Amino acid sequence: MGKLGISIYPERSNYEADKAYLDLAHKYGFKRVFTSLLEIKGDKEQVLSSFKKVVDYANSLDMEVMIDINPGLFTQLDISYDDLSFFHEMGADGVRLDIGFTGAEEARMTHNPYGIKIEINMSQGTTYVDSIMDYSPDTEKLLGSHNFYPHRYSGLEYNFFLQCTEKFKKYNLNTMAFVNSHAATFGPWPTQDGLCSLEDHRDLEIATQVKHYKLIGGIDDITIANAYASETELKAMSEAFNASIPEIKIIPRPNISEVEEKCLFETTHSYRGDRSAYILRSTMTRVIYQDEDFPAHDTQTIHRGDIVIDNNGYGQYKGETQIALKEMKNDGRVNIVAHLAPDEEFLLDYLKPWSSFKLIKNN
């Protein structure tokens, strides 16, 4: 089972606020903490003391702390990749290498005596991870995580994201990607238009971002990149992540009948496997509600994303629930009862034949 994570930036906040946020995230089952040492000013002792207090508190909640670093920091703090005692003393469970070495160093770092995990950048699209694997790393201690992007339109393109992720999954390495909170106000840098890995996610609700990652597959852990997400967002993210099947938001039409509401919201839908190019069929509702009345209403032209139910005119198909995949003529035998919420309509592309899903009302 994957883990949920939050990010904290102690140098841009204060201990009390970070502690309250860690408590809130812990309440909703978050297990990972991402923090950054990319922007540190000061000597080794100052850095250690300012971070250690908040890291220790996260550890007391049984949360795993990963610290983002770059090669320049090794020089600045006079530490060596052969000696990770600095991060051990700080209480870190792992370090994320924002910019990597040559492969040999990363592999050696995974064999450190402190059991510190080494997390590497997944978003480069190079043979970097293959180079590390050539040097026989401890794969239990080697993780991957995508970058996040504060500049609008600079985030990862979807197909490139898939290619990068596949390079890591072929070695069965743990993977992580970032999502964007709309309540959060800061990240590691002064300027940000939100923080996410996939550009397509920037303006979506946090639960929708999580559903997308779950439907894609290949990403184990999901972390909120910016701080501080709201309690509402933490709860929604936890529910979406831990849901056994995806819940897709829809907007019912005003004329929907009581039995049609039952078809939509009281049924676990299953995408029938003998797929059609025009409709995603969920056929069990016609069995469960076969004795109910489905008079005709809302029988206009059908568009992609419409939720439809066959009415009395369709004989044995009466009561079958479908989602339209493309525009279709309506001869009067099909009731349009709802439409996918606009921000989740794209999830239709990721539902697979034989998979199960639920429909929920758009809040």
Q: What is the CATH number of the domain that holds 14?
A: 3.20.20.70
Tens-level pLDDT at each residue, the chain (363 residues)? 799 999 999 888 889 999 999 999 999 999 999 998 765 676 667 767 878 999 999 999 999 999 998 777 888 788 888 899 989 999 999 999 977 888 999 999 999 999 999 999 999 999 999 999 999 999 999 999 999 999 999 999 999 999 999 999 999 999 999 999 999 999 988 888 999 999 999 999 999 999 999 999 999 999 999 999 999 999 999 999 999 999 999 999 999 999 999 999 999 999 999 999 999 999 999 999 999 999 999 999 999 999 999 999 999 999 999 999 999 999 999 999 999 999 999 999 999 999 999 999 998
Q: Is 338 helix (H, G, I), strand (E, B) or coil?
A: strand
Pairing outcome for strands 334-340 and 247-252: antiparallel
Q: Quick one: residue 39, left, alpha or beta (phi over 0 = left, psi -120 to 50 = alpha)?
A: alpha
The span from the CA of 40 to the CA of 137, in Å, is 29
pLDDT of residue 56: 96
Residues 263 and 130 in one domain: no
Q: Provide the residue range defining the domain that includes 209.
A: 4-243
Closest CA to 145 of 131, 159, 156: 156
Number of domains making up the chain: 2
pLDDT of residue 337: 98
Cβ atoms of 40 and 73 within 8 Å: the answer is yes
pLDDT of residue 101: 83
Cβ atoms of 236 and 205 within 8 Å: the answer is yes
Length of the chain: 363
Closest CA to 323 of 293, 287, 355, 289: 355
- Full-model pTM: 0.95
Residues 139 and 219 in one domain: yes
Query: 324 has which bridge partners?
Result: 279
Domain closes at, from 213, 228, 243: 243
Residues 84 and 191 in one domain: yes
The angle at the Cα of 134, spanning 132 to 135, to the nearest 5 degrees, equals 70
The span from the CA of 340 to the CA of 159, in Å, is 24
Domain closes at, from 185, 210, 243: 243
DSSP annotation of 327 reads -
Pairing outcome for strands 279-282 and 269-270: unpaired
Cβ atoms of 224 and 206 within 8 Å: the answer is yes
The span from the CA of 120 to the CA of 171, in Å, is 14
Residue 264 burial by CB count (10 A; 0-12/13-18/19+): exposed, middle or buried?
A: buried
Residues 153 and 82 in one domain: yes
pLDDT in tens, 233-272: 999 999 999 999 999 999 999 999 999 999 999 999 999 9
- Reading the block at residue 191, the tokens are 């300027």
Closest CA to 121 of 103, 134, 136, 140: 103
Residues 206 and 281 in one domain: no
Pairing outcome for strands 321-324 and 279-282: antiparallel
Residues 236 and 269 in one domain: no
Q: Is 124 helix (H, G, I), strand (E, B) or coil?
A: coil
Residues 116 and 169 in one domain: yes
Report cis status (omega within 30 of 0) of the bond before 81.
no
Domain closes at, from 206, 226, 243: 243
DSSP annotation of 236 reads H
Q: What is the CATH number of the domain that holds 322?
A: 2.40.100.10
Residues 355 and 281 in one domain: yes
- Reading the block at residue 287, the tokens are 């069995």
Residues 175 and 292 in one domain: no
Residues 228 and 252 in one domain: no
Residue 74 burial by CB count (10 A; 0-12/13-18/19+): exposed, middle or buried?
A: middle
Residues 125 and 165 in one domain: yes
Cβ atoms of 57 and 85 within 8 Å: the answer is no
Residues 289 and 224 in one domain: no
Residue 179 burial by CB count (10 A; 0-12/13-18/19+): exposed, middle or buried?
A: buried
